[in-house]
Structure 1
Amino acid sequence: MAFADNLRTLPSVAQISAIELLDDAGQVAATIPNLPGKAGSLAVYAALVAKHGSINVAAAEEGLSLFAEHTDDARKNPGNHPNIDRLLEVIKSGKGYQAKVIAG
């Protein structure tokens, strides 16, 4: 399925203002806000955290599938899709993130 089709299968993120990804030291490594252009990534990450409890290797692999055609573009153009690049790095390194969902 295409990314847009996958998004329609995910829960709404209307009640979420952002997700913070925390490194091993508990520091915020990244924030995905609920803003135009980022809401799709937020929906994917929120669904992954709800299912897996964190962004671990299994979550990252599922996330790449959900990002569909954007995953191929991210592989060809590193840096263009930082939220996908992060999932690729989780798979490569085996190091994931705890996540803090911020309501809003």
Structure 2
Amino acid sequence: MAFADNLKDLPKVSHLEAIQLLDAEGNEVARIENKPGQAGSLAVYNHLAQIFGAISPDAAKKGLDLYAEHTEDALQNPGKHPNIDRLVGLAERGETLRVKQVFAV
């Protein structure tokens, strides 16, 4: 399935302002905001956190499947899709990031 089709099946994220990705020490390593250009990634990462409890290597692999055609583009063009690049790195290194939701007010 295409990324746009996969997004339709994910939970909505209108209640979120952003999510923070935290390393093992609790430091923020990334923030994905609910704004144009990031809303799809917010939905993917939020879904992964709900299913897996964190962005683990297994969650990262599932996320790469959800990104569909964009994953192949990211692999061919490192740096073009940083949120996909992050998942590739987590899966390859066996690392996990915690997710903290920032709710919209």
**TM-score of the two chains, using structure 2 as the length reference:** 0.98
CA drift of 1:73 comes to 0.3
1:9 and 1:18 map into 2 onto residues whose CA distance is 20
* Distance (Å, rounded) in 2 between the aligned partners of 1:102 and 1:50: 14
Moved over 2 A (4+): none
Q: Please give the secondary structure, in 2, of the residue aligned with 1:61.
A: helix
* Structure 1 equivalent of residue 43 of structure 2: 43
What is the number of equivalent residue pairs in this alignment? 104
Extract unaligned runs of 5+ from structure 2: none
Shift of residue 27, structure 1, vs aligned partner: 0.3
The RMSD of aligned alpha carbons is 0.4
Tell me what 1:57 maps to.
57
Q: Hey, what does 2:88 align to over in structure 1?
A: 88
Q: Return the alpha-carbon distance in structure 2 between the equivalents of residues 13 and 75 of structure 1.
A: 27
Gaps of 5+ in 1: none
User: Corresponding residue for 1:31?
Assistant: 31
Shift of 1:25: 1.1
Residue by residue, what CA displacement relative to the aligned partner does 1:2-54 show, whole Å, maximum 9, x if unpaired? 00000000010000000000011100000000000100000000000000000
Matches within 5 A, 1:14-25: 14-25=14-25
TM-score by length of 1: 0.99
Is 2:17 aligned against 1:13? no
Identity, in percent, stands at 52
**SS in structure 2 of the partner of residue 30 of structure 1:** strand
